[in-house]
Structure 1
Amino acid sequence: MKNVLITGIAGGFGKPTALALLARGNVVAGSVRSRSGKNAATVAELESAGAKIVELDVTDSASTERGVSDAISQLGGLDILFNNAGIGSYGIQELMSPEDMARVFDVNVMGVQRVMRAALPHLRAQGRGTILYTSSLIGRIATPFYGTYSASKWALEAMVECYRTELSGFGIESCLIEPGAMPTAFFDGMVAPNDPARETEYGDFAGVPAISSAGLAGMLAATPEQRPERIAEAIVALLDLPFGKKPFRTVVDYVGVGPEIERYNDVLHGVTRNVFTNFGIEQMLDLNA
Protein backbone atom coordinates (compact mmCIF):
# COMPACT_ATOMS: atom_id res chain seq x y z
CA MET A 1 0.00 0.00 0.00
CA LYS A 2 1.36 3.40 -1.01
CA ASN A 3 0.37 6.98 -0.24
CA VAL A 4 -0.24 8.77 -3.54
CA LEU A 5 -0.89 12.43 -4.38
CA ILE A 6 -2.30 13.24 -7.82
CA THR A 7 -2.59 16.85 -8.98
CA GLY A 8 -5.47 17.51 -11.34
CA ILE A 9 -7.26 14.40 -10.08
CA ALA A 10 -10.58 15.37 -11.67
CA GLY A 11 -9.05 15.50 -15.15
CA GLY A 12 -9.09 12.98 -17.96
CA PHE A 13 -5.99 11.10 -16.73
CA GLY A 14 -6.27 11.85 -13.04
CA LYS A 15 -9.63 10.25 -12.36
CA PRO A 16 -9.06 6.81 -13.98
CA THR A 17 -5.57 6.65 -12.47
CA ALA A 18 -6.92 7.45 -9.00
CA LEU A 19 -9.65 4.83 -9.29
CA ALA A 20 -7.18 2.20 -10.52
CA LEU A 21 -4.76 2.88 -7.67
CA LEU A 22 -7.54 2.89 -5.08
CA ALA A 23 -8.77 -0.46 -6.39
CA ARG A 24 -5.31 -1.88 -5.67
CA GLY A 25 -5.44 -0.79 -2.04
CA ASN A 26 -3.43 2.41 -2.22
CA VAL A 27 -4.29 5.56 -0.28
CA VAL A 28 -4.92 8.37 -2.76
CA ALA A 29 -5.30 12.12 -2.35
CA GLY A 30 -5.88 14.46 -5.23
CA SER A 31 -6.06 18.15 -5.94
CA VAL A 32 -8.70 20.24 -7.66
CA ARG A 33 -8.83 24.00 -7.98
CA SER A 34 -12.35 23.95 -6.58
CA ARG A 35 -14.58 21.22 -5.22
CA SER A 36 -17.68 22.94 -6.58
CA GLY A 37 -18.77 23.84 -10.10
CA LYS A 38 -17.77 21.53 -12.94
CA ASN A 39 -15.72 19.30 -10.61
CA ALA A 40 -18.50 18.62 -8.08
CA ALA A 41 -19.78 15.35 -9.55
CA THR A 42 -16.29 13.96 -10.16
CA VAL A 43 -15.16 14.96 -6.66
CA ALA A 44 -18.19 13.18 -5.18
CA GLU A 45 -17.44 10.03 -7.21
CA LEU A 46 -13.78 10.03 -6.20
CA GLU A 47 -14.56 10.60 -2.53
CA SER A 48 -17.09 7.80 -2.65
CA ALA A 49 -14.33 5.53 -3.98
CA GLY A 50 -12.09 6.54 -1.07
CA ALA A 51 -10.00 9.41 -2.44
CA LYS A 52 -9.13 12.37 -0.27
CA ILE A 53 -9.65 15.70 -2.07
CA VAL A 54 -7.79 18.93 -1.40
CA GLU A 55 -8.24 22.31 -3.05
CA LEU A 56 -5.03 23.47 -4.67
CA ASP A 57 -4.30 25.99 -7.41
CA VAL A 58 -0.93 25.20 -8.97
CA THR A 59 -0.66 28.78 -10.26
CA ASP A 60 -0.58 30.10 -6.68
CA SER A 61 2.41 29.29 -4.47
CA ALA A 62 0.62 29.75 -1.14
CA SER A 63 -2.32 27.60 -2.29
CA THR A 64 0.08 24.91 -3.50
CA GLU A 65 2.01 24.84 -0.22
CA ARG A 66 -1.23 24.57 1.77
CA GLY A 67 -2.74 21.94 -0.52
CA VAL A 68 0.32 19.67 -0.58
CA SER A 69 0.73 19.96 3.19
CA ASP A 70 -2.95 19.14 3.71
CA ALA A 71 -2.72 16.14 1.37
CA ILE A 72 0.36 14.72 3.10
CA SER A 73 -1.35 15.16 6.46
CA GLN A 74 -4.50 13.37 5.29
CA LEU A 75 -2.49 10.59 3.66
CA GLY A 76 -0.28 10.13 6.68
CA GLY A 77 2.81 10.45 4.49
CA LEU A 78 3.75 10.53 0.82
CA ASP A 79 5.33 7.82 -1.32
CA ILE A 80 4.26 8.73 -4.86
CA LEU A 81 3.62 12.15 -6.41
CA PHE A 82 1.90 12.31 -9.79
CA ASN A 83 2.30 15.76 -11.37
CA ASN A 84 -0.71 15.56 -13.64
CA ALA A 85 -2.38 19.00 -13.59
CA GLY A 86 -2.12 20.68 -16.96
CA ILE A 87 -3.75 22.87 -19.57
CA GLY A 88 -3.74 22.71 -23.36
CA SER A 89 -3.56 25.28 -26.13
CA TYR A 90 -4.30 25.23 -29.83
CA GLY A 91 -4.01 27.74 -32.64
CA ILE A 92 -1.67 29.48 -35.06
CA GLN A 93 1.43 30.36 -33.08
CA GLU A 94 1.73 34.02 -34.13
CA LEU A 95 -1.80 34.66 -32.92
CA MET A 96 -0.98 33.55 -29.37
CA SER A 97 -0.47 36.57 -27.15
CA PRO A 98 2.43 36.49 -24.67
CA GLU A 99 -0.21 36.53 -21.93
CA ASP A 100 -1.87 33.38 -23.34
CA MET A 101 1.49 31.66 -23.56
CA ALA A 102 2.33 32.68 -20.00
CA ARG A 103 -0.97 31.19 -18.79
CA VAL A 104 -0.08 27.80 -20.31
CA PHE A 105 3.46 27.86 -18.92
CA ASP A 106 2.20 28.96 -15.50
CA VAL A 107 0.23 25.72 -15.20
CA ASN A 108 2.34 23.22 -17.13
CA VAL A 109 5.82 24.33 -16.06
CA MET A 110 5.77 26.71 -13.09
CA GLY A 111 2.82 24.80 -11.64
CA VAL A 112 4.92 21.63 -11.51
CA GLN A 113 7.78 23.59 -9.97
CA ARG A 114 5.48 24.93 -7.24
CA VAL A 115 4.25 21.42 -6.42
CA MET A 116 7.79 20.07 -6.36
CA ARG A 117 9.00 22.79 -3.99
CA ALA A 118 6.09 21.97 -1.69
CA ALA A 119 6.54 18.18 -1.76
CA LEU A 120 10.27 17.62 -2.06
CA PRO A 121 11.34 18.58 1.47
CA HIS A 122 9.17 15.70 2.73
CA LEU A 123 10.45 13.20 0.15
CA ARG A 124 14.10 14.18 0.62
CA ALA A 125 13.80 13.90 4.41
CA GLN A 126 12.51 10.33 4.18
CA GLY A 127 15.13 9.39 1.59
CA ARG A 128 12.80 7.68 -0.85
CA GLY A 129 10.00 8.51 -3.26
CA THR A 130 8.61 8.15 -6.77
CA ILE A 131 7.56 11.11 -8.90
CA LEU A 132 5.54 10.80 -12.10
CA TYR A 133 4.90 13.57 -14.61
CA THR A 134 2.34 13.86 -17.41
CA SER A 135 4.15 14.98 -20.53
CA SER A 136 3.03 14.30 -24.13
CA LEU A 137 4.21 12.85 -27.40
CA ILE A 138 4.31 16.46 -28.59
CA GLY A 139 6.62 17.14 -25.70
CA ARG A 140 9.10 15.24 -27.87
CA ILE A 141 8.17 16.53 -31.35
CA ALA A 142 6.21 19.61 -32.40
CA THR A 143 3.15 19.60 -34.67
CA PRO A 144 1.36 22.57 -36.26
CA PHE A 145 -0.99 24.63 -34.07
CA TYR A 146 0.28 23.10 -30.81
CA GLY A 147 3.37 25.31 -30.58
CA THR A 148 2.63 26.83 -27.18
CA TYR A 149 1.53 23.54 -25.62
CA SER A 150 4.50 21.68 -27.11
CA ALA A 151 6.88 24.36 -25.86
CA SER A 152 5.52 23.96 -22.33
CA LYS A 153 5.92 20.18 -22.44
CA TRP A 154 9.41 20.44 -23.96
CA ALA A 155 10.25 22.71 -21.03
CA LEU A 156 8.75 20.18 -18.63
CA GLU A 157 10.84 17.40 -20.15
CA ALA A 158 14.02 19.45 -19.69
CA MET A 159 13.10 20.29 -16.10
CA VAL A 160 12.40 16.65 -15.30
CA GLU A 161 15.71 15.57 -16.87
CA CYS A 162 17.37 17.76 -14.25
CA TYR A 163 15.15 16.61 -11.40
CA ARG A 164 15.92 13.01 -12.35
CA THR A 165 19.65 13.50 -11.84
CA GLU A 166 19.59 16.01 -8.99
CA LEU A 167 17.22 13.91 -6.86
CA SER A 168 18.75 10.48 -7.51
CA GLY A 169 21.14 10.83 -4.60
CA PHE A 170 18.17 11.36 -2.29
CA GLY A 171 16.56 8.07 -3.35
CA ILE A 172 13.86 9.75 -5.45
CA GLU A 173 13.08 8.13 -8.82
CA SER A 174 11.55 10.08 -11.70
CA CYS A 175 9.26 8.88 -14.50
CA LEU A 176 7.77 10.75 -17.45
CA ILE A 177 4.48 9.57 -18.97
CA GLU A 178 4.16 10.53 -22.65
CA PRO A 179 0.59 10.02 -23.93
CA GLY A 180 -0.64 10.53 -27.42
CA ALA A 181 -3.81 12.59 -27.95
CA MET A 182 -6.70 11.15 -25.94
CA PRO A 183 -10.46 11.87 -26.13
CA THR A 184 -10.88 13.76 -22.84
CA ALA A 185 -12.40 17.03 -21.63
CA PHE A 186 -8.83 18.39 -21.86
CA PHE A 187 -9.70 19.60 -25.36
CA ASP A 188 -12.67 21.60 -24.07
CA GLY A 189 -10.54 23.89 -21.90
CA MET A 190 -7.74 24.69 -24.33
CA VAL A 191 -6.29 28.19 -24.49
CA ALA A 192 -7.01 29.56 -27.96
CA PRO A 193 -5.71 32.77 -29.51
CA ASN A 194 -8.00 35.76 -29.91
CA ASP A 195 -6.42 38.09 -32.47
CA PRO A 196 -8.93 38.54 -35.32
CA ALA A 197 -6.92 41.31 -37.00
CA ARG A 198 -3.84 39.12 -37.42
CA GLU A 199 -5.98 36.10 -38.22
CA THR A 200 -7.37 37.79 -41.34
CA GLU A 201 -3.81 38.23 -42.60
CA TYR A 202 -3.52 34.44 -42.80
CA GLY A 203 -6.35 34.28 -45.35
CA ASP A 204 -7.65 30.79 -46.11
CA PHE A 205 -4.94 29.24 -43.96
CA ALA A 206 -6.71 30.61 -40.89
CA GLY A 207 -9.31 27.86 -41.36
CA VAL A 208 -6.77 25.02 -41.36
CA PRO A 209 -6.54 24.61 -37.55
CA ALA A 210 -10.27 23.83 -37.36
CA ILE A 211 -9.95 21.30 -40.20
CA SER A 212 -6.96 19.69 -38.49
CA SER A 213 -8.81 19.51 -35.17
CA ALA A 214 -11.79 17.82 -36.81
CA GLY A 215 -9.44 15.30 -38.41
CA LEU A 216 -7.92 14.48 -35.04
CA ALA A 217 -11.37 13.99 -33.52
CA GLY A 218 -12.25 11.59 -36.31
CA MET A 219 -9.04 9.63 -35.84
CA LEU A 220 -9.64 9.29 -32.09
CA ALA A 221 -13.21 8.17 -32.68
CA ALA A 222 -11.90 5.48 -35.01
CA THR A 223 -9.30 4.27 -32.49
CA PRO A 224 -11.16 2.98 -29.42
CA GLU A 225 -7.93 1.77 -27.79
CA GLN A 226 -6.80 5.39 -27.55
CA ARG A 227 -8.54 6.25 -24.29
CA PRO A 228 -7.58 7.66 -20.86
CA GLU A 229 -7.88 4.30 -19.11
CA ARG A 230 -4.74 3.23 -20.97
CA ILE A 231 -2.81 5.88 -19.04
CA ALA A 232 -4.07 4.47 -15.75
CA GLU A 233 -3.09 0.95 -16.82
CA ALA A 234 0.38 2.12 -17.83
CA ILE A 235 0.89 3.88 -14.49
CA VAL A 236 -0.26 0.85 -12.50
CA ALA A 237 2.16 -1.35 -14.47
CA LEU A 238 4.96 1.19 -13.99
CA LEU A 239 4.44 1.37 -10.24
CA ASP A 240 4.46 -2.43 -10.03
CA LEU A 241 8.09 -2.43 -11.21
CA PRO A 242 10.81 -2.58 -8.53
CA PHE A 243 12.12 0.67 -7.11
CA GLY A 244 14.97 1.98 -9.24
CA LYS A 245 14.07 -0.27 -12.17
CA LYS A 246 11.35 1.84 -13.78
CA PRO A 247 11.96 3.36 -17.22
CA PHE A 248 12.46 7.12 -17.25
CA ARG A 249 10.01 7.57 -20.13
CA THR A 250 6.82 5.59 -20.82
CA VAL A 251 4.99 6.17 -24.12
CA VAL A 252 1.24 5.45 -24.23
CA ASP A 253 -0.15 5.62 -27.76
CA TYR A 254 -2.27 3.43 -30.05
CA VAL A 255 -2.40 5.47 -33.26
CA GLY A 256 1.04 4.55 -34.58
CA VAL A 257 3.12 7.53 -33.43
CA GLY A 258 4.33 5.89 -30.22
CA PRO A 259 6.95 3.54 -31.73
CA GLU A 260 8.67 6.46 -33.47
CA ILE A 261 8.82 8.44 -30.23
CA GLU A 262 10.18 5.40 -28.42
CA ARG A 263 12.92 5.10 -31.04
CA TYR A 264 13.75 8.77 -30.56
CA ASN A 265 13.77 8.33 -26.77
CA ASP A 266 16.12 5.34 -27.00
CA VAL A 267 18.62 7.39 -29.00
CA LEU A 268 18.42 10.31 -26.57
CA HIS A 269 18.84 8.03 -23.56
CA GLY A 270 22.00 6.60 -25.13
CA VAL A 271 23.37 10.06 -25.91
CA THR A 272 22.60 11.23 -22.37
CA ARG A 273 24.37 8.26 -20.77
CA ASN A 274 27.41 8.72 -23.02
CA VAL A 275 27.68 12.41 -22.14
CA PHE A 276 27.26 11.71 -18.43
CA THR A 277 29.85 8.92 -18.62
CA ASN A 278 32.32 11.29 -20.25
CA PHE A 279 31.85 13.65 -17.31
CA GLY A 280 32.05 10.85 -14.75
CA ILE A 281 28.53 11.37 -13.42
CA GLU A 282 26.69 8.44 -15.01
CA GLN A 283 25.66 7.18 -11.56
CA MET A 284 23.13 10.04 -11.48
CA LEU A 285 21.11 8.03 -14.03
CA ASP A 286 21.06 4.80 -12.05
CA LEU A 287 17.57 5.14 -10.50
CA ASN A 288 15.97 4.30 -13.84
CA ALA A 289 16.20 1.12 -15.85
Structure 2
Amino acid sequence: MAKIFITGIAGGFGLPTAKALSAQGHQVAGSVRNRSGRNADAVATLEGFGAQIVEMDVTDNASAEAGVADAISALNGLDVLFNNAGIGSYGIQELMSPEDMARVFDVNVTGVQRVMRAALPHFRAQGRGTVLYTSSLIGRIATPFYGTYCASKWALEAIVECYRTELSGFGIESCIIEPGAMPTAFFDGMVTPDDPAREAEYGDFAAVPDLSAQGLAQMLEATPDQRPERIAEAVTALLALPFGQKPFRTVVDHTGVGPEIERYNTALHDVTRTVLTNFGIEEMLRLNP
Protein backbone atom coordinates (compact mmCIF):
# COMPACT_ATOMS: atom_id res chain seq x y z
CA MET A 1 0.00 0.00 0.00
CA ALA A 2 1.21 3.49 -0.91
CA LYS A 3 1.84 6.62 1.14
CA ILE A 4 0.00 9.40 -0.68
CA PHE A 5 -0.07 13.18 -0.23
CA ILE A 6 -2.94 15.11 -1.86
CA THR A 7 -2.86 18.90 -2.07
CA GLY A 8 -6.25 20.57 -1.86
CA ILE A 9 -7.65 17.46 -0.20
CA ALA A 10 -10.83 19.14 1.05
CA GLY A 11 -11.93 20.15 -2.45
CA GLY A 12 -14.33 18.57 -4.89
CA PHE A 13 -11.82 16.06 -6.26
CA GLY A 14 -9.62 15.68 -3.20
CA LEU A 15 -12.17 14.43 -0.69
CA PRO A 16 -13.70 11.57 -2.74
CA THR A 17 -10.24 10.55 -3.96
CA ALA A 18 -8.87 10.44 -0.42
CA LYS A 19 -11.87 8.41 0.71
CA ALA A 20 -11.45 5.88 -2.11
CA LEU A 21 -7.71 5.51 -1.53
CA SER A 22 -8.13 5.11 2.23
CA ALA A 23 -10.77 2.44 1.65
CA GLN A 24 -8.21 0.50 -0.36
CA GLY A 25 -5.76 0.58 2.53
CA HIS A 26 -3.45 3.35 1.33
CA GLN A 27 -2.06 5.84 3.83
CA VAL A 28 -3.32 9.30 2.91
CA ALA A 29 -2.30 12.78 3.99
CA GLY A 30 -3.60 15.99 2.51
CA SER A 31 -3.27 19.74 2.67
CA VAL A 32 -5.76 22.50 3.40
CA ARG A 33 -4.98 26.17 3.74
CA ASN A 34 -6.85 26.27 7.04
CA ARG A 35 -8.40 23.49 9.08
CA SER A 36 -11.19 25.72 10.39
CA GLY A 37 -13.83 27.78 8.62
CA ARG A 38 -15.28 26.35 5.45
CA ASN A 39 -12.88 23.38 5.54
CA ALA A 40 -13.87 22.23 9.05
CA ASP A 41 -16.54 19.73 8.03
CA ALA A 42 -14.39 18.24 5.27
CA VAL A 43 -11.42 17.94 7.62
CA ALA A 44 -13.57 16.13 10.17
CA THR A 45 -14.79 13.73 7.48
CA LEU A 46 -11.26 13.12 6.22
CA GLU A 47 -9.87 12.47 9.66
CA GLY A 48 -12.82 10.18 10.30
CA PHE A 49 -11.54 7.70 7.75
CA GLY A 50 -7.90 8.06 8.78
CA ALA A 51 -6.46 10.80 6.56
CA GLN A 52 -3.73 12.99 8.04
CA ILE A 53 -4.30 16.72 7.54
CA VAL A 54 -1.59 19.38 7.29
CA GLU A 55 -2.06 23.11 6.84
CA MET A 56 -0.30 24.43 3.75
CA ASP A 57 -0.62 27.42 1.45
CA VAL A 58 0.74 26.58 -2.00
CA THR A 59 1.22 30.30 -2.72
CA ASP A 60 3.84 30.61 0.03
CA ASN A 61 7.32 29.10 -0.30
CA ALA A 62 7.92 28.45 3.39
CA SER A 63 4.43 27.03 3.88
CA ALA A 64 4.86 24.63 0.95
CA GLU A 65 8.22 23.41 2.26
CA ALA A 66 6.84 22.94 5.79
CA GLY A 67 3.60 21.33 4.59
CA VAL A 68 5.35 18.71 2.47
CA ALA A 69 7.78 17.98 5.31
CA ASP A 70 4.86 17.59 7.73
CA ALA A 71 3.10 15.21 5.32
CA ILE A 72 6.21 13.06 4.89
CA SER A 73 6.60 12.95 8.67
CA ALA A 74 2.93 12.05 9.23
CA LEU A 75 3.10 9.25 6.64
CA ASN A 76 6.62 8.18 7.61
CA GLY A 77 7.56 8.48 3.95
CA LEU A 78 6.03 9.35 0.61
CA ASP A 79 5.34 7.29 -2.51
CA VAL A 80 2.76 9.37 -4.40
CA LEU A 81 2.20 13.13 -4.67
CA PHE A 82 -1.12 14.29 -6.13
CA ASN A 83 -0.91 17.97 -7.13
CA ASN A 84 -4.62 18.67 -6.92
CA ALA A 85 -4.93 22.15 -5.38
CA GLY A 86 -6.29 24.66 -7.86
CA ILE A 87 -8.47 27.69 -8.45
CA GLY A 88 -10.78 28.59 -11.33
CA SER A 89 -11.54 31.81 -13.15
CA TYR A 90 -14.38 32.91 -15.41
CA GLY A 91 -15.28 36.01 -17.34
CA ILE A 92 -14.52 38.07 -20.44
CA GLN A 93 -10.76 37.96 -20.82
CA GLU A 94 -10.16 41.70 -21.26
CA LEU A 95 -11.93 42.39 -17.97
CA MET A 96 -9.57 40.16 -15.99
CA SER A 97 -7.07 42.33 -14.14
CA PRO A 98 -3.37 41.41 -14.26
CA GLU A 99 -3.55 40.93 -10.50
CA ASP A 100 -6.39 38.41 -10.83
CA MET A 101 -4.50 36.58 -13.57
CA ALA A 102 -1.42 36.44 -11.36
CA ARG A 103 -3.51 35.00 -8.51
CA VAL A 104 -4.75 32.14 -10.70
CA PHE A 105 -1.27 31.37 -11.97
CA ASP A 106 0.17 31.58 -8.45
CA VAL A 107 -2.05 28.69 -7.36
CA ASN A 108 -2.33 26.58 -10.51
CA VAL A 109 1.21 26.89 -11.84
CA THR A 110 3.69 28.38 -9.39
CA GLY A 111 1.92 26.60 -6.53
CA VAL A 112 2.64 23.25 -8.16
CA GLN A 113 6.26 24.29 -8.65
CA ARG A 114 6.58 25.13 -4.95
CA VAL A 115 5.21 21.74 -3.92
CA MET A 116 7.42 19.92 -6.42
CA ARG A 117 10.55 21.67 -5.17
CA ALA A 118 9.63 20.59 -1.66
CA ALA A 119 8.85 16.96 -2.53
CA LEU A 120 11.33 16.04 -5.25
CA PRO A 121 14.45 15.79 -3.07
CA HIS A 122 12.68 13.01 -1.14
CA PHE A 123 11.68 11.16 -4.32
CA ARG A 124 15.12 11.50 -5.88
CA ALA A 125 16.81 10.27 -2.71
CA GLN A 126 14.70 7.11 -2.64
CA GLY A 127 15.00 6.62 -6.41
CA ARG A 128 11.29 6.24 -7.02
CA GLY A 129 8.06 8.18 -6.91
CA THR A 130 4.76 8.84 -8.66
CA VAL A 131 3.42 12.35 -9.27
CA LEU A 132 -0.15 13.03 -10.37
CA TYR A 133 -1.50 16.37 -11.52
CA THR A 134 -5.04 17.71 -11.91
CA SER A 135 -5.27 19.52 -15.23
CA SER A 136 -8.43 19.95 -17.32
CA LEU A 137 -9.88 19.26 -20.74
CA ILE A 138 -9.54 23.00 -21.24
CA GLY A 139 -5.88 22.66 -20.44
CA ARG A 140 -5.74 21.25 -23.98
CA ILE A 141 -8.13 23.62 -25.79
CA ALA A 142 -9.43 27.10 -25.00
CA THR A 143 -13.09 27.95 -24.52
CA PRO A 144 -14.66 31.43 -24.23
CA PHE A 145 -14.67 33.10 -20.80
CA TYR A 146 -12.14 30.62 -19.33
CA GLY A 147 -9.08 32.25 -20.89
CA THR A 148 -7.07 32.78 -17.71
CA TYR A 149 -7.92 29.35 -16.34
CA CYS A 150 -7.14 27.70 -19.69
CA ALA A 151 -3.83 29.52 -19.84
CA SER A 152 -2.87 28.34 -16.37
CA LYS A 153 -3.65 24.72 -17.21
CA TRP A 154 -1.87 24.97 -20.58
CA ALA A 155 1.15 26.21 -18.63
CA LEU A 156 0.80 23.36 -16.14
CA GLU A 157 0.72 20.83 -18.99
CA ALA A 158 3.93 22.30 -20.43
CA ILE A 159 5.71 22.15 -17.09
CA VAL A 160 4.63 18.57 -16.52
CA GLU A 161 5.83 17.60 -20.01
CA CYS A 162 9.27 18.74 -18.87
CA TYR A 163 9.03 17.05 -15.47
CA ARG A 164 8.02 13.84 -17.23
CA THR A 165 11.26 13.72 -19.20
CA GLU A 166 13.64 15.29 -16.69
CA LEU A 167 12.58 13.05 -13.81
CA SER A 168 12.31 9.72 -15.61
CA GLY A 169 15.99 8.93 -15.09
CA PHE A 170 15.46 9.30 -11.34
CA GLY A 171 12.64 6.73 -11.29
CA ILE A 172 9.85 9.30 -10.97
CA GLU A 173 6.79 8.76 -13.16
CA SER A 174 4.33 11.51 -14.11
CA CYS A 175 0.58 11.31 -14.77
CA ILE A 176 -1.78 14.12 -15.79
CA ILE A 177 -5.51 13.76 -15.14
CA GLU A 178 -7.72 15.84 -17.43
CA PRO A 179 -11.30 16.15 -16.13
CA GLY A 180 -14.17 17.69 -17.98
CA ALA A 181 -16.36 20.19 -16.15
CA MET A 182 -17.67 18.77 -12.88
CA PRO A 183 -20.37 20.02 -10.47
CA THR A 184 -18.11 20.92 -7.54
CA ALA A 185 -17.54 23.88 -5.22
CA PHE A 186 -14.80 24.85 -7.69
CA PHE A 187 -17.40 27.02 -9.43
CA ASP A 188 -18.24 28.85 -6.20
CA GLY A 189 -14.67 30.01 -5.60
CA MET A 190 -13.72 31.16 -9.08
CA VAL A 191 -11.88 34.40 -9.69
CA THR A 192 -14.17 36.71 -11.68
CA PRO A 193 -13.41 40.17 -13.10
CA ASP A 194 -14.56 43.38 -11.42
CA ASP A 195 -14.29 46.12 -14.03
CA PRO A 196 -17.79 47.57 -14.52
CA ALA A 197 -16.69 50.52 -16.65
CA ARG A 198 -14.91 48.31 -19.17
CA GLU A 199 -17.68 45.71 -18.98
CA ALA A 200 -20.20 48.37 -20.04
CA GLU A 201 -18.24 48.83 -23.25
CA TYR A 202 -19.17 45.27 -24.24
CA GLY A 203 -22.87 46.16 -24.33
CA ASP A 204 -25.27 43.23 -24.62
CA PHE A 205 -22.38 40.79 -24.99
CA ALA A 206 -21.53 41.36 -21.31
CA ALA A 207 -24.51 39.16 -20.40
CA VAL A 208 -23.28 36.18 -22.42
CA PRO A 209 -20.89 34.72 -19.79
CA ASP A 210 -23.73 34.32 -17.26
CA LEU A 211 -25.95 32.72 -19.88
CA SER A 212 -23.16 30.36 -20.84
CA ALA A 213 -22.58 29.39 -17.21
CA GLN A 214 -26.27 28.65 -16.77
CA GLY A 215 -26.17 26.39 -19.81
CA LEU A 216 -23.18 24.50 -18.42
CA ALA A 217 -24.92 24.02 -15.08
CA GLN A 218 -27.98 22.59 -16.83
CA MET A 219 -25.81 20.25 -18.90
CA LEU A 220 -24.03 18.95 -15.82
CA GLU A 221 -27.32 18.43 -14.02
CA ALA A 222 -28.49 16.33 -16.97
CA THR A 223 -25.27 14.26 -17.01
CA PRO A 224 -25.27 12.22 -13.78
CA ASP A 225 -22.10 10.32 -14.71
CA GLN A 226 -20.14 13.58 -14.71
CA ARG A 227 -19.31 13.61 -11.00
CA PRO A 228 -16.14 14.06 -8.87
CA GLU A 229 -16.22 10.37 -7.97
CA ARG A 230 -15.03 9.68 -11.53
CA ILE A 231 -11.74 11.36 -10.63
CA ALA A 232 -11.37 9.12 -7.59
CA GLU A 233 -11.94 6.11 -9.82
CA ALA A 234 -9.34 7.33 -12.31
CA VAL A 235 -6.73 7.88 -9.60
CA THR A 236 -7.27 4.49 -7.98
CA ALA A 237 -7.11 2.82 -11.40
CA LEU A 238 -3.85 4.60 -12.25
CA LEU A 239 -2.21 3.64 -8.98
CA ALA A 240 -3.23 0.02 -9.49
CA LEU A 241 -1.17 -0.13 -12.70
CA PRO A 242 2.45 -1.35 -12.56
CA PHE A 243 5.11 1.27 -11.93
CA GLY A 244 6.39 2.76 -15.17
CA GLN A 245 3.42 1.56 -17.21
CA LYS A 246 0.89 4.24 -16.35
CA PRO A 247 -0.38 6.47 -19.17
CA PHE A 248 0.96 9.99 -19.16
CA ARG A 249 -2.50 11.53 -19.69
CA THR A 250 -5.90 10.27 -18.53
CA VAL A 251 -9.08 11.96 -19.74
CA VAL A 252 -12.08 11.80 -17.38
CA ASP A 253 -15.22 13.03 -19.11
CA HIS A 254 -18.78 11.91 -19.82
CA THR A 255 -19.99 14.99 -21.71
CA GLY A 256 -18.82 13.88 -25.15
CA VAL A 257 -15.75 16.12 -25.32
CA GLY A 258 -13.34 13.52 -23.98
CA PRO A 259 -12.81 11.48 -27.18
CA GLU A 260 -11.72 14.59 -29.09
CA ILE A 261 -9.20 15.47 -26.40
CA GLU A 262 -7.90 11.89 -26.42
CA ARG A 263 -7.42 12.16 -30.19
CA TYR A 264 -5.45 15.35 -29.69
CA ASN A 265 -3.39 13.77 -26.91
CA THR A 266 -2.50 10.81 -29.12
CA ALA A 267 -1.32 13.12 -31.90
CA LEU A 268 0.78 15.17 -29.48
CA HIS A 269 2.24 12.02 -27.97
CA ASP A 270 3.38 10.89 -31.42
CA VAL A 271 4.83 14.31 -32.23
CA THR A 272 6.67 14.45 -28.91
CA ARG A 273 8.17 10.99 -29.36
CA THR A 274 9.26 11.79 -32.90
CA VAL A 275 10.92 15.06 -31.87
CA LEU A 276 12.73 13.48 -28.92
CA THR A 277 13.79 10.55 -31.10
CA ASN A 278 15.24 12.95 -33.65
CA PHE A 279 17.30 14.51 -30.86
CA GLY A 280 18.37 11.08 -29.59
CA ILE A 281 16.69 11.48 -26.19
CA GLU A 282 13.59 9.28 -26.55
CA GLU A 283 14.82 7.29 -23.53
CA MET A 284 13.54 10.17 -21.40
CA LEU A 285 9.98 8.98 -22.18
CA ARG A 286 10.59 5.47 -20.86
CA LEU A 287 8.45 5.67 -17.70
CA ASN A 288 5.25 6.67 -19.50
CA PRO A 289 5.49 4.77 -22.78
Q: Name the TM tier (shorter chain).
A: over 0.9
1:174-189 aligned within 5 A: 174-189=174-189
CA distance in 1, matches of 2:96, 2:149: 11
Q: Which residue of the partner structure matches residue 232 of structure 2?
A: 232
3-state SS of 2:188 partner: helix
CA distance in 1, matches of 2:175, 2:158: 13
Q: CA deviation at 1:98?
A: 0.1
CA distance in 2, matches of 1:238, 1:65: 27
Q: Which residue of the partner structure matches residue 55 of structure 2?
A: 55
Q: Which residue of the partner structure matches residue 275 of structure 1?
A: 275
Deviations 1:71-106 (A, max 9, x none): 000100000000000000000000000000000000
- Residue 33 (1) aligns with residue 33 (2): yes
CA distance in 2, matches of 1:193, 1:84: 24
Q: Which residue of the partner structure matches residue 78 of structure 1?
A: 78
Q: Which residue of the partner structure matches residue 173 of structure 2?
A: 173
CA distance in 1, matches of 2:232, 2:45: 17
Q: Which residue of the partner structure matches residue 249 of structure 1?
A: 249
CA distance in 2, matches of 1:224, 1:288: 32
3-state SS of 2:42 partner: helix
The amino acid that maps onto 2:9 is I
Q: CA deviation at 1:162?
A: 0.2
- Residue 158 (1) aligns with residue 158 (2): yes
1:1-289 aligned within 5 A: 1-289=1-289
The amino acid that maps onto 2:88 is G
Which aligned segments of 4 or more residues in structure 1 are displaced greater than 3 angstroms?
Answer: none
The amino acid that maps onto 2:94 is E
RMSD: 0.3
CA distance in 1, matches of 2:223, 2:70: 40
3-state SS of 2:223 partner: coil
Q: CA deviation at 1:232?
A: 0.3
Q: TM-score, normalised by structure 2?
A: 1.00
CA distance in 1, matches of 2:185, 2:86: 12
Q: CA deviation at 1:205?
A: 0.1
* Residue identity (%): 80
Equivalent pairs counted in the alignment come to: 289
Deviations 1:90-146 (A, max 9, x none): 000000000000000000000000000000000000000000000000000000000
CA distance in 1, matches of 2:206, 2:56: 37
Q: CA deviation at 1:197?
A: 0.3
3-state SS of 2:90 partner: coil
User: Which structure 1 residue ranges, 5 or more long, are not aligned?
Assistant: none
Q: CA deviation at 1:180?
A: 0.1
CA distance in 1, matches of 2:264, 2:185: 29
3-state SS of 2:254 partner: coil
CA distance in 2, matches of 1:76, 1:213: 44
3-state SS of 1:227 partner: coil
The amino acid that maps onto 1:53 is I
